[in-house]
Structure 1
C-alpha cells in the first residue's frame, strides 16, 4: 500500500488515500486511488482546495456520480474544454480520460491542466497512434484526414479536421468531393458517416472503444423486444449502431423509436422525452450517462441496453483521486507546443462546422 504525503496545500484526508489493486481493463488490471468516500466531508474539502488553487472542475458524462455532482461543469469533453478556455480559473481539473485533458490544454495553453489519474487512458484513442496515422497518410498522399475528437494530441496534430459524433456527417459532407477521406479511429462512427453521406471514397480505420463495441446488435434486439414501446438512444460509437439501422429498415423496430445521438444530444432528447411523458428509454452508451439523463428527466425510466458497459478508465477518477489531485497538484498534463498548434487548427476547423460543442 502506497500512502501519499501532505505537501503545500495538503489535506487531513490525504493520509487515507492509497493505490489499490485494480479492476480488469482491456490490457489487464488497472489500479485506482481509493480510501475516500464521496460524502459531504469530502465534498467540503474538495471545494476548499478548489478555491485555494483557483481551479475549475470538469467532469465527463461517464464519470462516477459523485464526481459529476461535485464538478463545476459536466458534459462531453469538447464542450468542457471550450467552457474551461473561457473561465478565469488558473487551473483546469479534468475528470475524464487523458486525451480529454490534452484537448483542454490545446485550447487553454496558458492554464495549468491536471487530471486526477494520469493512467486513465482510452482504448479508442489508443487504437490509432500518430505513427500508424502517418503511415496511413503515406499510402493515400492526396487524402484529407478526419479524426474523431477522441484521439491523442499527436494524432490531432496530423489531422486536417477533427469531428464529434454529432457533426461528423456535416464535416465530411463539406469536404471536396474529389478528395479521398481517411476517417479514424472509430469504425462504427465511420460506418455511420459513410452511410449518411453516401460517399464511397471514405477509408475507415478499424478502431473502437471496447466498451461501446461491446453493446451488441443481438443484445439491442432482445432489449427492444422486451420493451416494445421504448425509444432507443444510441451512440454512433456502439457496436449495435448498424444493427439498429438494419432492424429499423426491416421493420423489426419502429424507425421512429431509433435515435442516433451524441451524449449532448441525448440530454436534449431526454428533456423532450420527459416533457412528452415517455415511460422507458433504452440507452446504448457507457452507463455513466444514465446519471445525467435521470437528472434532467427523473420521471423517465432510462435503462441501459448493456448494464455492463462501464469504462474502467473513466472510473479511475475516484473521490480519492480528485482529492489527491487538488491537494498535491498532480497529475499535470502538457502538450508539445508544435503539436498543440497543429492540433488546435484541426479542432478550430471542426468548431466552425455543425455542432461545435456538446456533441461528443
Structure 2
C-alpha cells in the first residue's frame, strides 16, 4: 500500500526489530512475514504521534492485524467502541472502522474530536436506507416503533425509536412493547430475529455485501472437507445460518470460541475477524471461508498516520440529528446489552 500524497514514508531502523520483537512474533502467523518490516516503521511512527497528540486509536474487529494488534489502544465491536469513546479520557479519537461507527462514537462523545482515516469507508447496510425511507415506513405502518441496527447513518438513527446490535436485537425489539416493529435495515438479521420472537417484524431489504456472498453450499463443503465447526454472523442468509453450529455477533463468536475450544473452526464472517482471533486462541485451527470487507480495507497504517498528523477527517453531525440519535442509542443502553450464548 502506497502512502498518501505528500506523506513522508517512515524508514526502517534496526532498533525497531528489537523494540517491536513481541509484536512481530504475534503478527508473524497473521500477515505475510515479508510485510512485517514494511509495517513496523509506520506502527512506530503512529504510536509516537498518538502519544504526542494525546489520542486514542480504536479499531473494529474487522480491521487488519497490523492495525488491530499494532496501533489500536481499544478494540471491539461498533457499540463497544462507541461506548469506549464516551468513557475514555482522551479528547481525540481515531476510529479505525467504517463511517457509521465513527458517527456513533461522535454521537455518544459529542464534545470529543472523532477522526476517521478514510471518509469513503462506508457500509452497504448503512447506505441502503435513508431518513426519508424511515419516515415513509412509519407512514405505511402507523404506530409501529422503529428499531434500527447499529449499521445505520446518524440520520437514520435520529428517525428511530431505539438502536440495537446483532447481540441484543431480540431483546430490544421485545422491549418496544408493540405487536409490530419496523426493523432496519438488514433483511437477514431481521429474519433471524423474527424466528425468535412473537413480534411481527416489518423488514427492509438491506444486506451486508460481505455476509450475503456466503452460500450454504460453501458452508457444507468446508464442514465436509475439513471436519470443522462452523460459526456464522446473523447478517448471513437464513440458509447459511441453518448450516452453522453457532450464530452470533462478533463479540459472541469470541465468547463461543473461549467456551467451546474447538480444534477447528470456520468463521463465516469478515476475514480479518479470524486473523485477529488466532493469537487469542492458538489451540484452534482457523479455516477461512471468508470474505474481506472492501470498506474496512480502506483503513491503512498510512492513512491512520495522515489522519493523526493532519487531524483529518473529523466527523461532524448536526446538533439536532445528534441529539435524536443519542436518545435512540440511550434507549438501547437502558434496555441493556445481552450477548448470545
Bin for the TM-score computed over the shorter chain: 0.7 to 0.9
C-alpha RMSD of the superposition: 2.1
1:165–1:189 CA contact under 8 A, matched in 2: yes
| Equivalent residue number for residue 32 of structure 1 | none
- 1:242–1:172 Cα change, 3 Å: farther
Alignment of 1:18-97 (within 5 A): 39-69=39-69, 70-97=71-98
| Equivalent residue number for residue 155 of structure 1 | 156
Q: In structure 1, what is the Cα distance between the partners aligned to 2:148 and 2:45?
A: 39
Pairing partner for 2:241 from 217, 239, 244 = 244
Summarize deviations over 1:247-292 as a string: whole Å, max 9, x none: 5xxxxxxxxx711110001111122233xxx211111111110122
* Shift of residue 332, structure 1, vs aligned partner: 0.8
1:315 and 2:286 are equivalent in the alignment:
no
* Shift of residue 313, structure 1, vs aligned partner: 0.5
1:192–1:242 CA contact under 8 A, matched in 2: no
* Shift of residue 98, structure 1, vs aligned partner: 0.3
Q: Which runs of 5+ in 1 are unaligned?
A: 7-11, 16-35, 248-256
Pairing partner for 1:231 from 223, 229, 232 = 229
* Shift of residue 224, structure 1, vs aligned partner: 2.0
Q: Provide the aligned length of Structure 1 versus Structure 2.
A: 314
TM-score, normalization by structure 1: 0.82
3-state SS of 1:312 partner: coil
Q: In structure 2, what is the Cα distance between the partners aligned to 1:102 and 1:186?
A: 19
| Equivalent residue number for residue 16 of structure 2 | none
* Shift of residue 14, structure 1, vs aligned partner: 7.7
1:341 and 2:341 are equivalent in the alignment:
no
Q: Which runs of 5+ in 2 are unaligned?
A: 12-35
Summarize deviations over 1:322-358 as a string: whole Å, max 9, x none: 11111111111111110011101111111123426x8
Summarize deviations over 1:103-128 as a string: whole Å, max 9, x none: 00000000001000001111111111
Alignment of 1:81-160 (within 5 A): 81-160=82-161
* Shift of residue 38, structure 1, vs aligned partner: 5.2
- 1:137–1:269 Cα change, 3 Å: same
* Shift of residue 192, structure 1, vs aligned partner: 0.6
3-state SS of 1:43 partner: helix
Q: In structure 1, what is the Cα distance between the partners aligned to 2:90 and 2:240?
A: 44
4+ aligned runs moved over 3 Å, structure 1? 1-6, 241-244
Alignment of 1:212-291 (within 5 A): 212-228=211-227, 230-239=228-237, 241-245=238-242, 247=243, 258-274=245-261, 278-291=262-275
- 1:38–1:130 Cα change, 3 Å: farther
3-state SS of 2:326 partner: helix
| Equivalent residue number for residue 332 of structure 1 | 314
3-state SS of 2:58 partner: strand
2:10–2:45 CA contact under 8 A, matched in 1: no
Summarize deviations over 1:40-95 as a string: whole Å, max 9, x none: 22112101110121110000111111111110011111101111211111101000
- 1:290–1:38 Cα change, 3 Å: farther
2:4–2:302 CA contact under 8 A, matched in 1: no
* Shift of residue 316, structure 1, vs aligned partner: 0.3
Q: In structure 1, what is the Cα distance between the partners aligned to 2:226 and 2:163?
A: 37
- 1:243–1:316 Cα change, 3 Å: closer
TM-score, normalization by structure 2: 0.87
3-state SS of 2:163 partner: strand
1:235–1:262 CA contact under 8 A, matched in 2: yes
* Shift of residue 2, structure 1, vs aligned partner: 9.6
Pairing partner for 1:299 from 283, 293, 297 = 283
* Shift of residue 5, structure 1, vs aligned partner: 4.2
1:352 and 2:334 are equivalent in the alignment:
yes
2:54–2:92 CA contact under 8 A, matched in 1: yes
